[in-house]
Structure 1
Amino acid sequence: MHQRPLAATGRSVSTIGLGTWQLGADWGDVSEADALEVLAASVEAGVTLFDTADVYGDGRSESLIGRFLAAHPGHGVTVATKMGRRVAQEPENYTPENFRAWTDRSRANLGVDTLDLVQLHCPPSAVIDADETYDALDALVADGAIAAYGVSVETCDQALSAISRPGVTNVQIIINPFRLKPLDEVLPAAEAAGVAVFARVPLASGLLSGKYTSSTSFAGNDHRSFNRNGEAFDRGETFSGVDYDTGLVAADELAAALPDGLSLPAASLAWIASRPGVTSVIPGARTTTQARSNAAAGSIDPADLDTFAAAVVDVYDRRLRADIHPQW
């Protein structure tokens, strides 16, 4: 597994990380035993970045990661957590007092004195644009509560605003073959500023797994059932905002352009990781098989993806650009 610098932190993280939303909630049930096995399989495969949040299972994801890392000293894993969605997404709630309370809770969940990296969890644009936001985050760094901070965003404009701030270590944004807009400006700006980029929702909530059909059903507590139209949070978080049936057709067309021996999810992850400016791709995994397969994508030679890369642009332009590009 290749490792890339995490901006100016002195740390390096794997090109394929592990997103752990699914170990907390909103993806159906994952037992504690299965969750711990997914974490173990990922580390064994060379993953050195876990991405989590204080609201994933109301802290369950963080606590499971804390238990796992405590049992594996010398693990070498960087944990990137997120904060800000334990209250209504209103600018007045993003206060130094709340930042302190949220980080203290995450420190307790993870069992650490200093959090490796804390990201604001898709806050309103007014929060991302405000000087006071970064003053409060700088104070947490100065106090030793956090080592570094970043911002997870919904839109490219939000990403560009965060990248312009000198203390920002990373931005986390949706990038995948169904979401190409960040390639236009966000990745070049981040690379120029020395800001790391975590590509989230890289398999479009499973649409790029190649496993789903028009008859596939999802559990009632899975966001792919209850948030398709943005009923619970931003629509772009579910299937990258792509209409489900349109996404199935697009995925089939991408699958037809796969190199021999590569699966659609592996090619998708490797293609994202090969985009200039991307630091790490953070797919989720519910099973050890998924965890190992995702990690293996980090060793795919980008030179083997030329035909697939051309298909990504073609399919996006024909089927998705008109609907997706203007929104995020």
Structure 2
Amino acid sequence: MEQRHLGKTGRSVSVIGLGTWQLGADWGEVEDKDALAVLEAAADAGVTFFDTADVYGDGRSETTIGSFLKANPGHDVMVATKMGRRVDQVPENYSLSSFRQWADRSRTNLGVDTLDLVQLHCPPTPVYSTDEVYDALDTLVSEGVVKNYGVSVERTDEALAAIARGNTASVQIILNAFRLKPLDEVLPAAKAAGVGIIARVPLASGLLSGKYTKDTVFAENDHRNFNRDGAAFDVGETFAGVHFETGLAAAQEFSALVPDGVTTAQAALAWIAAQDGVSTVIPGARNTEQARANAAAAEHLELGTELDTAVAGIYDRHFRGAVHTKW
């Protein structure tokens, strides 16, 4: 699989990575053995980047990855985790003492001495512009607690604030065929600054898998059920912030563009990976078949460029007016 430099980390990672939110919580139940099997299938398919967070299953996702790392000591996988969503979301909680506690917990969960990459997990907007926050993150690097740090964001202005900081290695942002705003300023700014871009929610919570219908039912403990109106966290995390019915109609249009021999999900992932400045794309997978199929999207990157004009048209018709000013 194609490997790309991940910003200022000094590491190369697979263009298709693996997001592991679904291995912890909020996507229905996944058994431990099945979660490990997903990690193994992804790695076997050439994936060398796993993204997790301390809040996914209150650490379950991290500990599952830790089990994988222990069982595969010769692995070439870079693990990025996120921190900060286990406490009240107020800026004063983002301090050096908190960072040390959070990082120590993640190191224990993952079974590592040093975290490859730690990202602030969509903190309150003022955090991205606070000097003391970056000083604290620099301290963690100097102490050998983390090798690199970055941010995960909800909004493009948050991304631009972090990119302006000299030691920000990467920015994780929602980017998919239904959320194009990062293409305007964030990706060019990141490329100019040497900051990596990690594209998250790439399938719009599964809308771009092409498998859902108006009759699809999600489990009670699945965020695609309980967070459709943003009741639990930012609504932009669920179906990329669009109404389910709107997304279905747009997904049908997108699916009609996909040639034979390629799945809708693979085409959606390939389109993101083809955007200039994207380092890696992190779809989730709940089973080994999904993990392998997602990884195979790397074989169709040329398709991504071919879809640009059509994707822009779908976005303008269905989404621009509703989402472009929000995030």
Deviation at 1:123, TM superposition (A): 0.5
CA deviation profile, 1:238-266 (whole Å, cap 9, x unmatched): 00001100100000011111123211100
Aligned pairs (5 A) from 1:220-231: 220-231=220-231
Aligned pairs (5 A) from 1:86-165: 86-165=86-165
In structure 2, the residue matched to 1:235 is: 235
Aligned pairs (5 A) from 1:255-266: 255-266=255-266
Give TM-score, length-normalised by structure 2. Answer: 0.99
In structure 1, the residue matched to 2:325 is: 326
Deviation at 1:66, TM superposition (A): 0.4
In structure 1, the residue matched to 2:20 is: 20
Distance 1:49 1:14 in 2: 6
CA deviation profile, 1:11-41 (whole Å, cap 9, x unmatched): 1100000000000000000000000000000
Distance 2:99 2:180 in 1: 32
What RMSD, in angstroms, separates the aligned Cα atoms of the two structures? Answer: 0.8
CA deviation profile, 1:31-80 (whole Å, cap 9, x unmatched): 00000000000000000000000000000000000011111011010000
What one-letter code is carried by the residue in structure 2 that aligns with 1:173? I
SS of the aligned residue for 1:58 comes to: helix
In structure 2, the residue matched to 1:201 is: 201
Whether the 8 Å CA contact 1:163–1:190 is kept in 2: the answer is yes
Whether the 8 Å CA contact 2:45–2:292 is kept in 1: the answer is yes
In structure 2, the residue matched to 1:216 is: 216
In structure 2, the residue matched to 1:245 is: 245
Distance 2:128 2:197 in 1: 16
Deviation at 1:113, TM superposition (A): 0.4
Aligned pairs (5 A) from 1:307-322: 307-322=306-321
Deviation at 1:298, TM superposition (A): 1.1
In structure 1, the residue matched to 2:83 is: 83
Distance 1:88 1:8 in 2: 30
What one-letter code is carried by the residue in structure 2 that aligns with 1:50? F
Deviation at 1:10, TM superposition (A): 2.1
The percent identity for this pair of structures is 65
Whether 1:190 and 2:190 are equivalent positions in the alignment is yes
Distance 1:7 1:268 in 2: 23
State how many pairs are aligned: 327
Deviation at 1:309, TM superposition (A): 2.3
CA deviation profile, 1:180-212 (whole Å, cap 9, x unmatched): 000000000000000000000000000001110
State the 4+ residue runs in structure 1 displaced beyond 6 angstroms.
Answer: none
When residues 281 and 144 of structure 1 are mapped into structure 2, their CA distance, relative to the original with a 3 A threshold, is same
SS of the aligned residue for 1:300 comes to: helix
5+ residue gaps, structure 2: none
SS of the aligned residue for 1:168 comes to: coil
What one-letter code is carried by the residue in structure 2 that aligns with 1:159? A
Whether 1:35 and 2:32 are equivalent positions in the alignment is no
